[in-house]
Structure 1
Amino acid sequence: MMLFTRQPPRVLSLLLQAAQRVERRAQGVSLSGGCWIHLEGERPETGEDVHSLKTSPLGQPPRQDDIGCQDSPSPLPTPTPASLAGLPRRRALHPPTPSARPTPPVPGRANSYPRTLWPPAHSRQPPPEPGRRTREPPQEPLSSPGRKRRRSGSGIERQLLQGAREGAPLGARPQPRAPGQAGRQGLAAPAAGSTNGRARRGARRAAPGGLKTARAGGGLRTRATPSEPRARARQPCPAGAQSRPAPMAPETPAQGPTPRYFTWDEVAQRSGRGKEQWLVIDRKVYNISEFTRRHPGGSRVISHYAGQDATDPFVAFHINKSLVRKYMNSLLIGELSPEQPSFEPTKNKELTDEFRELRATVEQMGLMKPNHIFFLLYLLHILLLDVAAWLTLWVFGTSFVPFLLCAVLLSTVQAQAGWLQHDFGHLSVFSTSTWNHLLHHFVIGQLKGAPASWWNHLHFQHHAKPNCFRKDPDINMHPFFFALGKILSVELGKQKKKYMPYNHQHKYFFLIGPPALLPLYFQWYIFYFVIQRKKWVDLAWMVTFYVRIVLTYVPLLGLKGFLGLFFMVRFLESNWFVWVTQMNHIPMHIDHDQNKDWFSTQLQATCNVHKSAFNDWFSGHLNFQIEHHLFPTMPRHNYHKVAPLVQSLCAKHGIQYQSKPLLSAFADIVYSLKESGQLWLDAYLQQ
């Protein structure tokens, strides 16, 4: 095969004459005035390999640096690896034209050079005009889909091209690789440009580090596999090949969604009913608009903190906070802006921080851990009193004295069961909510005949916003039955509203207050509550109570006697319940929600009764109402231990810590009703 390089048009005829002389010489014809053109490849007559292109005058041996021809006016250029990279596959019989330029090879892949270096004679175009650009027809790459790959030229051509690409000197035979020897740059032999597809796939599998080869730009580069997600390497390009690295976008670390920031003004606007409701916990903003109906503690208790910071009540009411936070993630919509304080300006920052430190100290002291023996004995004493009440009638008969004694014992059972269910309802007996809820259903449902959901619905609101009008259900008798609190009574009088003669409310309190609350209101409302809200589990527990008490006492007393006993028990229990629960709240501050900090909110709405064994038992340890409201999940037997710490914090910040005797607490209820009634009358009569 003859090799040609680009020459000016004036030497084309000379090159054709030289080719003819070579052919005649091979046929034994003597040429004169010509030149030798040594061919690449193997001479058929001698079997000698030729790896260089040389020309020399006829009759003289060629020299290594003799590239010219005696008939050529200008010498031929020296072949280089770059020029050899585009050698034709077959013998070219037509000289090149200035407009015919070879297509550059695809680097990193053998046998990818074009099939012909110059177009045939019938397709040659005349030289273009100076300054005019010619358009070259696109050439289809060999690796295009659907195109069958063909083997390139002879073995001599492949060896020469491979040596040129690997940087071997011109004319040197490429050295064969040993079997299994790795290729260049860590790629397994054979080279990526090999025409053997099976060997090439094996080379990729044998590549170290799990790297795969890819062709891009003008050379080989490695593509990282999943074992090395960030590893990137680039193989050097073959000698003489001009390559341009593929542009790579700068890698930036993956970032999550940018959090949304809000101000307290934006949060405060989402506090109304029927509208969007937000609240803040630990500076995170949650949208509770749809969640309120699914809240386990009730929809109203969480709605009372809409538009406010609820960090302290959240910590106070939940015993498994990590579990609750997982469910809260779906409600998270953002957080407070960095320049915003952690809570509203209406709250005392120093007092809030110190109370949180106090809570941490209480937890470290172990005061939040219950004594299960205490609650077990408490439950046993209730069951014994219940059995004693029935034995009184069964042993001593149904006369007046045994009947009255039985009523007192059953009233004690109902009151003490009320204090015990209060402990289970606040999750202060067991470390898991499941056991607390189960025992809560048993005590309030089986022992008292009331629904647990009804108690949760009312009582948690009371703890969240004590003595806050329209948020605490315990003061819902204002204004229809009583005028409560100094501020609300004056406001009611200025509005000229009179639903009852409030100036006499301290008198009719003894008629419609303690005696009538349970037998005339709660006893019937609880059935309406469970049926209207479809609380069938609570209804089932309630039915077990009524079935048990009917089967136990109707055989002894008859139906009329049983109804008389039952309502007498409810009457006594109602007086016990109202006096104990209202002595800590009615005499205290009552107003609309002022959105104060947790500590101040609880202290201004509660007071204590002195500690004694009787007071603790009679009130179910609710004589420590301050400590109970600050730490709702604390076991009741630890209230007296944390009381000194609370008193010191109150003294430091000038907050009044009220504690009084039991009878004085009862009397304060009447005195506060009389005072608020008089304030209402003065405002009502004022023009």
Structure 2
Amino acid sequence: MRTVRGQGLLERRTGWYALGIAANLAALAGVVTAVVFVGDTWWNLLLTLPLAVLWTRTAFVGHDAGHFQITGDRTVSRIIGLLHANVLLGMNEAWWNDKHVRHHANPNHVDKDPDVGVGALVWTQKQAARREGFARWLTRNQARLFFPMLLLEGIALKIYGFQFLRRQPVRERALCGLLLAAHLGLYATLLLTVMSPGKAVVFALAHHALFGLHLGMAFAPNHKGMEMPDPDGPRWGHMRRQVLTSRNVRGAVLTDWFLGGLNYQIEHHLFPSMPRPHLRLAQPLVKARCAEIGMPYAETGLVESYRQALRHMHDVGEPLR
């Protein structure tokens, strides 16, 4: 921490983020304009891909705002998060931050990390043993179904956000609910004024499927298949808890862009408020520190990261097969 702070790697890069946000908003406006000009034809489905990619860029901005990577001002960070999550994506910023903060505090801990809790997928053989009926079949086949299931994630994020409204204080519920409703209204108005209802439904489904797939592919390599602390064992120290449960993905500029900087997952977990462009600069320092104290540092290629995650999901379902 002293070395990282001394090199200025925790200082905000507000200008870098401002340019990135402006470029992303301009690109979104350009795609929306193209949707209007293409009009009521099936050719409009081709625009679901760039729109899904830009929505994922938007989600990355919301993620970074939640970590105060863009600015240390909590009010400004909240406004950025609400704009990018609630208004542009229809995803409840409060739900995401609540879940994500708990994940960062105890990554891969089955009792404390919501990302490895029992859901459509399970992450330990103990969880798998309790599955019954359709859920049991799903667990047996979860590795091969993982990527197809990501096609539903874009819609699921909206559902989770609305469900979370019940847990929010009244004023927060009103604000977040209003912004989520505004997103749905604007999205539906755009599609239904440009194309027929049938084409609009197909466009929305294709768009959300591609968005969920891209977003899931960005988050899947980070922790799946990495070490999981024993809930009944001793509590791990901070560095062990963050490093051993995380996996980095090797690559260059394209990988950084595709994964939104989350390919430096170890550095992100050790320094969650570090601006995205500084994560790659902190990596040599973290690797050196891990080597110095004899702590494993997991880093692999993108395809291999998916293979390791899928192998873990396959192994979890093995007793049921």
Alignment partner of 2:245 out of 589, 598, 605 = 605
Identity of aligned residues (%): 22
Q: Deviations over 1:148-169 (max 9, x none)?
A: xxxxxxxxxxxxxxxxxxxxxx
Aligned to 1:361: 3
The Cα of 1:532 is off from its aligned counterpart by 4.8
Alignment partner of 2:62 out of 421, 426, 430 = 421
State the distance in 2 between where 1:551 and 1:622 align. 34
State the distance in 2 between where 1:474 and 1:525 align. 13
Amino acid at match of 1:514: L
State the distance in 2 between where 1:386 and 1:426 align. 23
Higher fraction of helix: 2
Aligned to 2:160: 525
State the distance in 2 between where 1:574 and 1:669 align. 17
The Cα of 1:613 is off from its aligned counterpart by 1.1
Gaps of at least 5 residues in structure 2 are none
Say which SS state the counterpart of residue 583 (structure 1) adopts: helix
Aligned to 1:614: 254
Q: Does the 8 A contact of 2:65 with 2:80 survive in 1?
A: yes
Alignment partner of 1:466 out of 107, 112, 122 = 107
Q: Deviations over 1:566-616 (max 9, x none)?
A: 222111111111122121111111244441110000111101011311111
Aligned to 1:628: 268
Alignment partner of 2:208 out of 564, 570, 574 = 570
State the distance in 2 between where 1:446 and 1:498 align. 37
State the distance in 2 between where 1:483 and 1:525 align. 18
Q: Does the 8 A contact of 2:92 with 2:158 survive in 1?
A: no
Aligned to 2:308: 668
Q: Deviations over 1:636-671 (max 9, x none)?
A: 110011101100111112211111111221222212
Aligned to 1:558: 196
Aligned to 2:141: 504
Q: Does the 8 A contact of 1:385 with 1:409 survive in 2?
A: no
Aligned to 2:150: 514
Amino acid at match of 1:609: V
Alignment partner of 1:381 out of 23, 37, 47 = 23
Aligned to 1:540: 178
Q: Sort the Cα spacing of 1:396 and 1:505 in 2 relative to 1 into closer, same or farther, 3 A.
A: closer
The Cα of 1:483 is off from its aligned counterpart by 4.1
Q: Sort the Cα spacing of 1:618 and 1:395 in 2 relative to 1 into closer, same or farther, 3 A.
A: same
Q: Deviations over 1:286-325 (max 9, x none)?
A: xxxxxxxxxxxxxxxxxxxxxxxxxxxxxxxxxxxxxxxx
Alignment partner of 1:404 out of 45, 52, 67 = 45
Q: Deviations over 1:83-123 (max 9, x none)?
A: xxxxxxxxxxxxxxxxxxxxxxxxxxxxxxxxxxxxxxxxx
Q: Deviations over 1:477-527 (max 9, x none)?
A: 3xx54442xxx31x457xx5343144433223344x3122332x3222321
Q: Sort the Cα spacing of 1:523 and 1:383 in 2 relative to 1 into closer, same or farther, 3 A.
A: same
How is 1:185-334 mapped onto 2 (pairs within 5 angstroms)?
A: none
Aligned to 1:228: none
Q: Does the 8 A contact of 1:362 with 1:368 survive in 2?
A: yes
The Cα of 1:564 is off from its aligned counterpart by 2.3
Q: Deviations over 1:355-399 (max 9, x none)?
A: xxxx12211211111222211121122212212222223333333
Q: Deviations over 1:245-283 (max 9, x none)?
A: xxxxxxxxxxxxxxxxxxxxxxxxxxxxxxxxxxxxxxx
Q: Does the 8 A contact of 2:90 with 2:158 survive in 1?
A: no
Q: Deviations over 1:21-46 (max 9, x none)?
A: xxxxxxxxxxxxxxxxxxxxxxxxxx
Say which SS state the counterpart of residue 672 (structure 1) adopts: helix
How is 1:92-241 mapped onto 2 (pairs within 5 angstroms)?
A: none
Amino acid at match of 2:178: A
Say which SS state the counterpart of residue 141 (structure 2) adopts: helix
State the distance in 2 between where 1:503 and 1:560 align. 36
Say which SS state the counterpart of residue 450 (structure 1) adopts: coil
State the distance in 1 between where 2:31 and 2:3 align. 44
Larger Rg: 1
State the distance in 2 between where 1:412 and 1:603 align. 29
Structure possessing the higher relative contact order (Cα contacts under 8 Å, 6 or more residues apart): 2
Q: TM-score, structure 1 length as denominator?
A: 0.43
RMSD: 2.0
State the distance in 1 between where 2:131 and 2:88 align. 40
How many aligned positions are there? 312
Amino acid at match of 1:596: W
Alignment partner of 2:220 out of 582, 594, 614 = 582
Higher fraction of strand: 1
State the distance in 1 between where 2:60 and 2:147 align. 23
Gaps of at least 5 residues in structure 1 are 1-358, 683-687
State the distance in 2 between where 1:608 and 1:672 align. 17
Q: Does the 8 A contact of 2:218 with 2:260 survive in 1?
A: no
Aligned: 1:641 with 2:281: yes
Say which SS state the counterpart of residue 150 (structure 2) adopts: coil
Q: Sort the Cα spacing of 1:562 and 1:669 in 2 relative to 1 into closer, same or farther, 3 A.
A: same
Q: Does the 8 A contact of 2:250 with 2:299 survive in 1?
A: yes
Q: Does the 8 A contact of 2:249 with 2:302 survive in 1?
A: yes
